[in-house]
């Protein structure tokens, strides 16, 4: 499903610069960028790459500030199975999977869709899965001041599937536990049980 608010985020100034570099790259590998199938590829790549890195030009504070609500609720809030797509900073190849986010409100909650948008904001950058996990957790701690935050990401990396060790079914699992999720084993265990539904294994 397209995200209309994010699709309006454009590349920095000097449009066409990335397309020109792609043209040079195609020539460097022995291709003809003027042949029919590749003629518009540089511009298509630039448009796609700008979208996939649009998180650099978004502010997490601004994203969340319009959807914070005062509420008397002190139980865990969990949003699980958030689809995630990002680019590995080492090879510029995609990694993708699921992100699970939980927090215990202190005084404020945020709209549930904003949790998914926050994941997108940080995923749409050149990333390491470990950093991405931590950034999501730290942004929630800073912006809504909860009792604690837990984030788990399970992802498949095409740099492992398509090249290198070529392990087709390998997945990386990373977690960031802050506040009550880090300090209290019972809280952490409740979160992990909720995201795995007590019956299914991590994907």
Which residues are known catalytic residues? 88-91, 129, 157, 159
58, 75, 199, 30: which is closest to 118 by C-alpha?
A: 58
Cβ(111)–Cβ(67) below 8 Å: yes
Between helix 41-52 and helix 17-28 the angle, nearest 10°, is 120
How far is 96 from 85, CA to CA, in rounded Å?
4
Lookup result for tokens 């992100």: 99
Measured between its terminal Cα atoms, the distance across the chain in Å is: 21
166, 201, 203, 198: which is closest to 78 by C-alpha?
A: 198
151, 156, 193: which is closest to 172 by C-alpha?
A: 156
The two beta strands, 108-110 and 68-70, are: antiparallel
Go through the chain and tell me how many residues it has. Answer: 203
């Amino acid at each position: 499903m397209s995200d209309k608010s994010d699709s309006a985020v454009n590349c920095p100034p000097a449009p066409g610069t990335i397309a020109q570099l792609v043209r040079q790259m195609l020539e460097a590998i022995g291709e003809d960028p003027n042949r029919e199938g590749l003629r518009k590829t540089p511009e298509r790549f630039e448009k796609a790459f700008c979208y996939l890195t649009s998180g650099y030009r978004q502010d997490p504070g601004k994203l969340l500030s319009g959807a914070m609500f005062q509420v008397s609720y002190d139980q865990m809030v969990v949003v699980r199975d958030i689809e995630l797509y990002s680019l590995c900073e080492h090879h510029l190849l995609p990694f993708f999977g699921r992100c699970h986010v939980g927090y215990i409100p202190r005084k404020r909650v945020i709209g549930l869709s904003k949790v998914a948008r926050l994941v997108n904001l940080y995923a749409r950058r050149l990333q390491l899965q470990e950093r991405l996990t931590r950034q999501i957790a730290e942004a929630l701690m800073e912006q809504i001041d909860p009792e604690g935050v837990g984030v788990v990401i399970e992802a498949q990396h095409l740099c492992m599937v398509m090249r290198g060790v070529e392990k087709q079914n390998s997945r990386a699992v990373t977690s960031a536990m802050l506040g009550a999720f880090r300090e209290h084993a019972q809280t952490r265990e409740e979160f992990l049980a909720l995201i795995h539904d007590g019956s299914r294994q991590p994907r």
